[in-house]
Amino acid sequence: MTYKSIGQYGLIGNRHTAALVSDDGSIDWCCLPRFDSPSVFAAILDDEKGGRFYIRPMAPFTYHQEYLNENNVLETTFETNFGAATLTDFMPCYQTDAARLKKFDEIHRLVECIKGQINLEVVFEPRLDYARGSTTLSLSKYGVAATNGSDRLALSSLVPFEISGGRAVGRLELHSGQSASFVLRYGDDRPRSPRLYDTGGKLKKTTAYWQGKSDQIALSGTYRGAIVRSYLALHLLHYSSTGAILAAPTTSLPEYIGGSRNWDYRYAWLRDASQALNAFLYLNDTDEADSFINWLMQVCNRCGPKAQILYDIEFKDPPPEQKLKHLSGYRNSHPVRIGNNAVNQFQLDIFGEVMECADTYLITGGKISRRNWQVLETFIDAACELWREPDAGIWEVRSGPFHFVHSKLQCWLALGRGIEMAEKLGHRRKLKRWRNALGEIRADILARGWNPVRQAYTQHYDTTSLDAANLLMGIFGFLPPTDERLKSTIDRIVDELSWEGLLRRYNTDEVDDGLDGPEGAFLICSFWLVGNWLRQGKLEEAISLYEKLLGYSNHLGLFSEMVYPPTGEPLGNFPQAYTHLAVIIYGLEILHYLEGHENDER
């Protein structure tokens, strides 16, 4: 076996956890029963030790993978010289009559011969607890059981297996119209007849559930496919029990092959959650928007102005960052990390992110209760009091703190949006103080953030280096699109941070971020450029770049965090919520701009 490109994977899930399925039928990453649980399969992080579960033809074959319509049910088609078969992968996910999401700790795999005759091999090679310790396999009448300490996993199947070398291997022959099912169930060490799990019925209900989600998106035209796929991908990153949304379902997929910039993203960042709320509001999905604002307010209410930048999916701290030295890492990109020490960083940008989404929620018809306003008020006060402090910045550098321009911008945004909301809601008691602070922050950024030699706003006050995060000065309206300083900053960023048409966050060769080695181009930065060009009236350039960026999705429309521009190879944890949010937000901005332009011409 060899490593596949990060982009050669699809994602299935049940809104409690998820699994990566390669385009030729191998589950190479899955954590059960939750997103942040130890892995059951981790071949993507160590091809030899990590463990996998694959079903594929024994003869040479071609393959094709796609989601069933606008759905999160995955289908892989195999074709040999003798026949063809489809492999349908899904995790049961549907609601009860009481509108509650059913929870099944199951993965269902249904293989059906659709032409001729086909011989298939099934290899079940779980490695529980991140492949730590020893996973023991045992056979029974209806399949294979796996145990490691208290962890239990059962694979139910009518196919006979043999155990050899720490893996269970089964073979089957199917003729046209014949099928076989495999059900993987966590927490159970007794395989049962797969007929008891009703794979066909659960598939029908799961398909209807996901189709219902996509059908409610009242959108047509060129970008519908990309936007709906991103919408569905976000649901696969949504932990339904609390409303938290993960940055990504994976850990330690590298930002540069062979590098050490490998992080655990199976947690909820406040900035991602706030942008998710905006995306759902823009798509008129008020149910999901209400779910997210409830999650956000719960987090903010618990922590107030001392809110952390990230939480685990149950509102708790992620575990301390540690390295799994027994795993080699994706294509020898180590270390493999679990936990995330960024939880201990001080970052000012969360105040702006939270207030921006709360303001959008209010504008689009959401209700802000008096209790929620009291929570939001503490965030505005915190921005007012703390904006002069240095911090770790949006990129979570490990060499600071510094006076990041983007961090000051977000404090300005928190006050600006807070003032707007206070005026709408009739809470005027603190307006004078907030307006004074708003003016002070603006004056500070204009005076200390601008570098007359570089003719640009720099990354922070004590550097001449550039940062693509400053593109958000235009997105959030800190400066008008016609402002010469903003236009010059955008030009400098494009000139200096472009890599074959894509933007890097900053130049890692000249910026001391406390880490070694390079990284790829960060996709959301280029989406920010799309937003700026729209605001400057550069419609052709904006559309051209947006469509170019859509080309960096994989065969299923899923996006990574970063890209290696010379080859287009995906980098970083996958799929990435931040990128999918940008696909939705800036795709809709283009469509709304075009609609408004057409109305003006009439």
Asked if 422 contacts 428 with a C-beta cutoff of 8 angstroms, the reply is: yes
Tell me the pLDDT band of 97, cut-offs 50, 70 and 90.
Answer: low
| CA distance linking residue 289 with residue 241, whole number of Å | 15
User: Nearest Cα to 342, choosing from 413, 393, 295, 272?
Assistant: 393
CATH topology for the 6-211 domain = Beta-galactosidase; Chain A, domain 5 (2.70.98)
Which tens digit of pLDDT belongs to each residue from 218-246? 998 899 999 999 999 999 999 998 888 89
Report the chain's mean pLDDT, rounded to a whole number. Answer: 94
CATH number assigned to the domain covering 216-601: 1.50.10.10
Tell me the pairing of strands 337-338 and 322-323.
antiparallel
Mean pLDDT of 78-93: 98
The per-residue pLDDT for 601 is 52
The alpha-carbon radius of gyration of the chain (Å, integer) is 25
Residue 602: what pLDDT? Answer: 46
Q: Decide which of 50 and 310 is more confident.
A: 50
Q: What would the DSSP string read from start to end of 332-350?
A: G----EES-GGGG---THH
Q: What number of other Cβ atoms are within 10 A of residue 77's Cβ?
A: 16
If one compares 102 and 65, the residue with the highest pLDDT of the two is: 65
Task: Return d(Cα 516, Cα 167) in angstroms, integer.
Answer: 38
Q: How many CB atoms lie within 10 A of CB 516?
A: 9
Residue 443 pLDDT > 70, yes or no?
yes
Question: C-alpha angle 134/139/141, rounded to 5°?
Answer: 155
CB 45 within 8 A of CB 31: no
> Quick check: 409 pLDDT over 50?
yes
Would you kindly state where each structural domain of the chain is located, as residue ranges? 6-211, 216-601
pTM of the predicted protein model: 0.96
CA atoms within 13 A on the CB side of 190: 1
Position 599 confidence tier, pLDDT thresholds 50, 70, 90: low
Residue 596 has pLDDT above 90, yes or no: no
Which ranges of 237-322 would DSSP assign to H, the alpha helix?
A: 270-282, 286-303
Measured CA to CA in angstroms, residue 317 lies from 296, 382, 394, 446, 535 at distances of 15, 21, 19, 36, 39
Coil, helix or strand for 211? helix
